Amino acid sequence: MKWYKKDQHFLIDEQVLERIIEYGKLTKADTVLEIGAGYGNLTAKLAKKAGKVIAIEVDPELAPSIKKAENVEVIIGDALKEEFPHYNKVISNLPYSISSPVTFRLLQHGFELGILMYQHEFAKRLVASAGSKDYGRLSIAVQYHAQVEILEVVSRHAFSTPPKVDSAIVRVVPRPPPYEVRDVDFFMKFILAAFSQRRKKLKNAILNNAAMLGIKESALEKLPQDIIEQRAETISPEELAKLSDLLI
């Protein structure tokens, strides 16, 4: 069995496909990027509404199935490696195994609007806030770059070769960060360290990752003791950003 058949589940529910198009608010002025085009079910509907569709599909046996149209460009390749052409919207039923890396790659590239299908559990982590069981590094990192919202949950039965779990359609709108940090790269490493041991107090998680962060253990003396005695999952992104700044 080919790997894509294990990983990419093809959306076949016509009503869900139509709602995705509606969420995208497409006009002929839009250039849409679609990642994991598969057999082209979504591609054909995008092409009817958008000015141009750039469909990326990694499997050369699947790509010829995508219906040819004047405004559709098919790229056979890995979305984590291919250079993205210009686009202003991204609408995709993403291959689940690359959900995290492809999301960050998209956010680094920039766009106006994303309508993206994820596994429901992953989507809940994207939109989670402090204090919830789904809150973590992914929530903070994505929400630093964009506003994210679950638009609807999609049954696993809407797909051919149904996945084992339900999915969710997520709206992603890039925007300026809602708070400032002195060093974004260090902040991203800091939240990685903070959530590396979720059941431990933040103080211990930082200590255990001091070498990775490039800090000395004595640096913890700069931090408010009442906050670092808590678990990271209870601390807001803004508070974590302030702690990160104090360690630089």
| Residue 143 falls inside a structural domain | yes
Alpha helices in the chain (DSSP H): 3-7, 14-24, 41-49, 99-109, 120-127, 137-145, 184-194, 202-208, 210-213, 225-228, 237-247
Look up the CATH number of the domain holding residue 223.
1.10.8.100
Based on the fold, state whether residues 188 and 170 are members of the same structural domain: no
List, for residues 181-236, the tens digit of each pLDDT value: 999 999 999 999 999 988 899 999 999 999 999 999 999 999 999 999 999 999 99
Q: Token pair for residue 158?
A: 């809407």
Q: What stretches in the chain show pLDDT beneath 50?
A: 1-6
| Residue 139 falls inside a structural domain | yes
- What is the pLDDT, as a whole number, of residue 204? 96
Angle (deg, nearest 10), helices 184-194 and 237-247: 110
Based on the fold, state whether residues 22 and 140 are members of the same structural domain: yes
Q: CA 146 to CA 126: how far, in whole Å?
A: 10
- What is the pLDDT, as a whole number, of residue 7? 60
Long-range contacts of 195-198 (CB under 8 A, 24+ apart): 195/136, 195/137, 195/232, 195/233, 198/136, 198/231, 198/232, 198/233
Based on the fold, state whether residues 16 and 73 are members of the same structural domain: yes
Based on the fold, state whether residues 146 and 242 are members of the same structural domain: no
- Residues paired with residue 53 on neighbouring β-strands, in sequence order: 32, 72
